[in-house]
Amino acid sequence: MTVLQAVILAVIEGITEFLPVSSTGHIILGTAIMGIKSNDFIKLFTVAIQLGTILSVLVLYFKRFFKSFDFYFKLLAAFIPAAVFGLLFNKKIDQLLESPLGVAIALLLGGIILLFVDKWFKNADIDDTDQISYATAIKIGFFQCLSMIPGTSRSAATIVGGMSQKLTRKAAAEFSFFLAVPTMFGATAKKLYDFYKEGHIITNQEINLLLIGNVVGFIVAMIAIKSFIGYLSKHGFKAFGIYRIIVGAIILVLYFIGQPLQII
């Protein structure tokens, strides 16, 4: 992987991680277009640069993370379902990760849902994440489990889950951002542990790529989050639904014409 490729992948990750468009689907397209072949470091890189995007949430919502301990317990309650399901079905999830066709289908179905979600959940009355109960947090956590299906989008699953519990679009999106912190940190820690457990050693060049990727991901994610909240509050999800359908269709076309596609 070159420095330019690392920067491009970090930009893709930073933009798509918090938008309801599936970062996995975009990584597939990015690696296919750039001809990047999967290996253990590439797999580590695409997960480890999430640390930069996590940091963007902590910086943008710094005060929120020091408001009350109750906030952390609610995040923990929402995080537990995905942690449990992830441990129980780890092998099955890995198998799903090998299917670009499955990702394309998930993108298309999710896109169709986003076309109508604004109409389905009109009667929102929770506009502040402080108003979220433990029961609601847990329910959103179960929606997050749907994102274990590659192409679903963790952001889309949790935001729709929040809206189904009468959160406004803004409150649902913000809680999705907060929930990303323990979820993505856990995924990154596990990937790093597995990498070292298998006896791999990171070279100086690879360390530089990881540093560059995290810095770029951090900057881009901050811009994406700010832009997304503003757009979402005014316009809703329809444009994201259309975009997902287009991306899903592109992956389907590439898949059926025999273009090499890898979920790395």
pLDDT at 176: 92
Highest mean pLDDT (candidates 145-149, 151-155, 176-180, 251-255): 176-180
DSSP 10-71: HHHHHHHTTTTT-HHHHHHHHHHHHTPPP-HHHHHHHHHTHHHHHHHHHHHTTTGGGS-HHH
Position with higher pLDDT, 43 vs 131:
131
| Residues above pLDDT 70, as percent of the chain | 94
- End-to-end CA, the chain: 13
Residue 263 lies in a domain: no
Q: What is the pTM of this model?
A: 0.85
pLDDT at 63: 84
pLDDT at 98: 59
Q: Is the pLDDT of residue 90 over 80?
A: no
Directed axis angle between helix 50-60 and helix 3-16, to 10°? 50
pLDDT band at 178 (very low <50, low <70, confident <90, very high): very high
pLDDT band at 14 (very low <50, low <70, confident <90, very high): very high
Residue 232 lies in a domain: yes
Tell me the C-alpha distance between 188 and 244, whole Å: 25
Backbone angles phi, psi at 126, to 5 degrees: -115, 105
pLDDT at 148: 84
* 89 class by beta-carbon count within 10 Å (0-12 exposed, 13-18 middle, 19+ buried): middle
Residue 191's domain comprises 3-256
pLDDT band at 95 (very low <50, low <70, confident <90, very high): low
Residue 12 lies in a domain: yes
pLDDT at 127: 84
**262 SS3 class:** coil
Q: Is the pLDDT of residue 263 over 60?
A: no
Using the CB atoms, write b or e for 35-70: b if 16+ within 10 Å.
Answer: ebeeeebbbbbbbbbbbbbbbbbeebbeebeeeeee
Q: Which two tokens stand for residue 223?
A: 């811009």
pLDDT band at 215 (very low <50, low <70, confident <90, very high): very high
**Number of structural domains found in the chain:** 1
| Residues above pLDDT 90, as percent of the chain | 42
Residue 137 lies in a domain: yes
Distance of CA 235 to the CA centre of its chain: 21
Q: Hey, which bits of the chain come out as E strands? A: none
pLDDT band at 156 (very low <50, low <70, confident <90, very high): very high
Position with higher pLDDT, 193 vs 216:
216
pLDDT at 94: 61
Residue 110 lies in a domain: yes
Tokens 């109750």 belong to residue = 70
Q: Is the pLDDT of residue 7 over 90?
A: yes
pLDDT at 50: 87
- Looking at 55-69, 152-166, 211-225, which range is the least confident one? 55-69
Q: Which two tokens stand for residue 13?
A: 């990750």
Tell me the C-alpha distance between 145 and 158, whole Å: 9
Residue 183 lies in a domain: yes
Contact 248, 261 (CB under 8 A): no
